[in-house]
C-alpha cells in the first residue's frame, strides 16, 4: 500500500509538472513569436501542425472563412501542408465556461479563441491567466496601426452600434439626450441578452464619456431643466457606486433614463428591419451599423427611411458605442505556434481580415487590412443610400463620438453597477 501511495504521489507530481510546463511553454512561444515576421511564423506553424488537428472557439462564425485562406498561405510555402481544423461557436455566452473547462481539465483541446465582452475577458480570462495575449511583430510595425485600446488584449476588430431613427415622422434627434426624452422608447437589445450593451452603460460613467454627456446636456435645446433634479440626485448614486469622476452623475443619469425607457428587443436584425419600414415613423434605436447592408429595398422598407444620428450636421453627444472582438491563446494551447501564425495572419493582412472586413461598421486596427466602405450606398455611381456610406474608424471615434469598451474599466465597476442597472430595467 505504501508503494502504491508513493507511486500515486509521484505520478500526480509528474502530471502536475507537465501541466505547468505546458502553460510555461505557451508563454515562451508567445515571447519568441512576438519577435518574428509573418513568414517566420508561417514556417513555425508548418513545422508544428502539418497533418494535425487544430481547434478554436469564437463568438464569430467567420473564423471558418479565415482558416481555409490561412491554410492556403502555408501551402504556398509547403504544398504538402494540411490542417484538420474545427472552429466552434458556443451559444448563450457559454464560451467562457468552455475555455475555463478546457484549460483546467486534463485534456487540452482548444488552441486559441476569438472572444467578446471585455468585462468578463478581464475578470475571467486575463486576471486568472486562462488566456494569454499575443501581439504580432508585423502588427506593431504596421503603418498607421491604431494601438490605443487594441493592444491588450489584442483586438481583431472594433464594431459599432449606432443611434438611428426613422425619418418619416415629425421627431428630430440632434442630441444624445433626445433618445431619453419624455415619451421615448428606443429599440435596443436587452442588457443581459448581449452583455457588450451592458459594458456600454458601464463605460458611460467613465470620466471621458460622462463629460461628453455633460456637454451634450448643457447644449440640449429641449431640456428646459427637465433632468436637472435627476442629475443632482445621481451624485449620491455615483458616490454609493464608488464612481469618482467629477461628471459621473451626468453619465449615470443618462444610463438611468436609457434603462428606464428602452424597448427591449431580441436581436439587432429585427430592430433594423423595423426601423426602415414606412410604419415606423418617429421610432429610434441603437443597433449594429452593418445591419443596413442586408436591408431589402421594397415599397414598405428602405435604408432611406432611416437617418444615422451622428451623420447629421450639428449632432451633439455620443453617436453610439464600440465593442471589440479579441484574439488570444489559451495558456495550454496544444498548437501555440500555429495559433500565433493564424492571429498574425488575421490581424495584419487583408486576406486574413477579409471575412470581417467585407462589411461596413467593422474596423481593423491595421489600415492595410481594411476594405473601403465609404461608397457602399452608391448604385451605378450614384449616391443612392447615403446612410450606408461608412465614414470609417477614425471618424467614428473622433467625430462620431463612440463610447469605446475598455475591459479594465468595465471590470472595475461592473460589480457594483450590474445590480443597479438590473434594478432599473426590472422595475419598468
How far is residue 323's CA from residue 116's CA, in Å, rounded to a whole number? Answer: 8
**Dihedrals phi, psi of 356, to nearest 5 degrees:** -95, -30
Structure confidence at residue 22 (pLDDT): 59
Compute the distance between CA of residue 272 and CA of residue 281 in angstroms, rounded to an integer. Answer: 13
What pLDDT is stored for residue 232 in this prediction? 97
Question: 228-240 and 248-261 are packed helices; what angle lies between their axes, rounded to 10 degrees?
Answer: 110
CA 135 from chain centre, in angstroms, equals 18
Give me the pLDDT at residue 10, please. 42
- What gap in Å lies between CA 21 and CA 18, rounded to an integer? 5
| Interaxial angle between packed helices 336-348 and 38-49, expressed in degrees from 0 to 180 and rounded to the nearest 10 | 140
* Contact of 287 with 268, CB cutoff 8 Å: yes
Q: How many CB atoms lie within 10 A of CB 219?
A: 15
The SS3 assignment for 81 reads coil
State the Cα angle at 191 between 263 and 94, rounded to 5°: 135
Please give the pLDDT value at position 222: 83
Domain 159-323+384-426, classified CATH 3.30.365.10, yes or no: no
Q: Which of 6, 100, 109 is nearest to 339 (CA)?
A: 109
Q: Is the dihedral of CA 292, 297, 301, 306 positive or negative?
A: positive
Min mean pLDDT across 20-34, 117-131, 147-161, 236-250 is at 20-34
Which conformational region is residue 5 in: left (phi greater than 0), alpha (psi within -120 to 50 degrees), or beta?
alpha
Rounded CA-CA distance 166/280 in Å is 6
Please state which CATH number belongs to domain 15-156+327-369: 3.40.190.10
CA separation for the pair 159, 146 (Å, rounded): 14
Share of residues in the chain with pLDDT > 90 (%): 91
Quick check: 259 and 184 in contact, CB under 8 A? no
Q: What is the mean pLDDT of residues 244-254?
A: 97
The CA radius of gyration of the chain, in Å to the nearest whole number, is 24
- Sign of the CA dihedral 230, 233, 238, 240? negative
Bridge partners, residue 87, by sequence? 56
pLDDT, position 21: 39
Residue extents of the structural domains in the chain: 15-156+327-369, 159-323+384-426
- Number of helices (H) and strands (E) in the chain: give both, helices first: 15, 14
Place of cell 428587443: 265
Please count the CA atoms within 13 angstroms of the CA of 389 that sit on its side-chain side: 13
Task: Indicate whether 143 pLDDT > 50.
Answer: yes
The whole-angstrom separation of Cα 90 and Cα 360 is 25
What pLDDT sits at residue 91?
80
pLDDT at 86: 97
Whether 172 shows a pLDDT value over 90: the answer reads yes
0.85 surpassed by pTM: yes
- What is the rounded CA–CA span in Å between residue 365 and residue 347? 8
Structure confidence by residue, pLDDT tens digits, 41-90: 999 999 999 999 999 999 989 999 999 999 999 999 999 999 999 999 98
What pairing do the DSSP bridges indicate for beta strands 52-58 and 110-115?
parallel
Cis ω before 153 (30° cut-off from 0): yes
For residue 111, give Cα distances in angstroms to 56, 116, 315: 6, 17, 45
* Cα dihedral sign, 337-340-343-348: negative
Q: How far apart are CA 171 and CA 178, in angstroms?
A: 9
How large a percentage of the chain has pLDDT more than 70?
Answer: 94
d(CA 325, CA 302): 30
Q: What is the pLDDT of residue 14?
A: 40
Q: Give Cβ neighbours of residue 30 (< 8 Å, ≥ 6 apart).
A: 132, 133, 134, 329, 336, 340
Mean pLDDT of the residues in the chain:
93
- The per-residue pLDDT for 224 is 78
Amino acid at each position: 500500500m505504501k508503494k502504491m501511495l508513493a507511486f500515486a504521489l509521484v505520478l500526480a507530481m509528474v502530471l502536475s509538472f507537465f501541466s505547468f510546463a505546458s502553460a510555461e511553454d505557451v508563454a515562451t512561444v508567445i515571447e519568441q513569436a512576438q519577435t518574428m515576421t509573418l513568414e517566420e511564423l508561417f514556417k513555425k506553424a508548418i513545422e508544428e501542425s502539418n497533418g494535425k488537428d487544430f481547434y478554436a472557439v469564437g463568438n464569430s462564425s467567420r473564423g471558418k472563412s479565415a482558416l481555409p485562406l490561412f491554410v492556403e498561405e502555408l501551402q504556398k510555402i509547403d504544398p504538402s501542408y494540411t490542417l484538420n481544423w474545427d472552429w466552434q461557436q458556443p451559444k448563450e455566452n457559454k464560451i467562457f465556461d468552455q475555455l475555463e473547462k478546457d484549460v483546467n481539465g486534463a485534456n487540452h483541446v482548444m488552441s486559441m479563441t476569438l472572444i467578446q465582452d471585455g468585462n468578463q475577458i478581464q475578470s475571467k480570462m486575463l486576471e486568472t491567466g486562462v488566456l494569454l495575449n499575443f501581439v504580432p511583430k508585423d502588427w506593431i510595425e504596421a503603418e498607421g496601426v491604431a494601438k490605443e485600446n487594441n493592444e491588450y488584449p489584442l483586438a481583431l476588430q472594433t464594431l459599432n452600434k449606432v443611434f438611428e431613427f426613422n425619418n418619416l415622422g415629425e421627431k428630430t434627434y440632434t442630441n444624445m439626450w433626445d433618445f431619453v426624452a419624455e415619451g421615448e422608447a428606443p429599440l435596443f437589445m436587452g442588457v443581459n441578452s448581449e452583455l457588450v450593451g451592458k459594458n456600454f452603460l458601464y463605460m458611460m460613467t467613465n470620466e471621458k464619456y460622462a463629460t461628453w454627456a455633460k456637454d451634450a446636456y448643457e447644449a440640449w435645446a429641449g431640456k428646459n431643466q427637465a433632468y436637472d433634479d435627476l442629475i443632482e440626485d445621481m451624485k449620491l448614486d455615483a458616490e454609493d457606486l464608488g464612481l469618482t469622476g467629477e461628471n459621473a452623475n451626468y453619465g449615470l443619469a443618462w444610463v438611468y433614463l436609457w434603462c428606464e425607457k428602452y424597448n427591449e428587443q431580441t436581436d439587432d436584425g429585427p430592430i433594423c428591419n423595423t426601423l426602415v419600414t414606412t410604419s415606423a415613423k418617429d421610432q429610434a434605436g441603437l443597433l449594429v451599423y452593418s445591419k443596413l447592408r442586408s436591408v431589402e429595398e421594397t415599397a414598405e422598407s428602405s435604408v432611406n427611411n432611416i437617418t444615422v444620428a451622428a451623420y447629421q450636421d450639428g449632432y451633439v453627444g455620443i453617436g453610439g458605442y464600440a465593442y471589440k472582438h479579441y484574439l488570444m491563446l489559451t495558456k495550454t494551447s496544444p498548437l501555440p505556434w500555429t495559433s500565433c501564425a493564424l492571429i498574425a495572419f488575421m490581424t495584419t493582412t487583408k486576406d486574413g481580415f477579409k471575412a470581417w472586413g467585407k462589411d461596413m461598421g467593422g474596423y481593423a486596427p491595421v489600415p492595410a487590412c481594411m476594405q473601403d466602405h465609404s461608397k457602399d450606398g452608391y448604385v451605378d455611381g450614384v449616391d443612392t443610400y447615403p446612410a450606408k456610406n461608412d465614414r470609417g474608424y477614425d471618424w467614428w471615434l473622433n467625430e462620431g463620438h463612440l463610447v469605446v469598451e475598455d475591459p479594465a474599466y468595465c471590470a472595475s465597476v461592473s460589480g457594483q453597477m450590474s445590480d443597479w442597472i438590473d434594478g432599473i430595467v426590472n422595475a419598468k
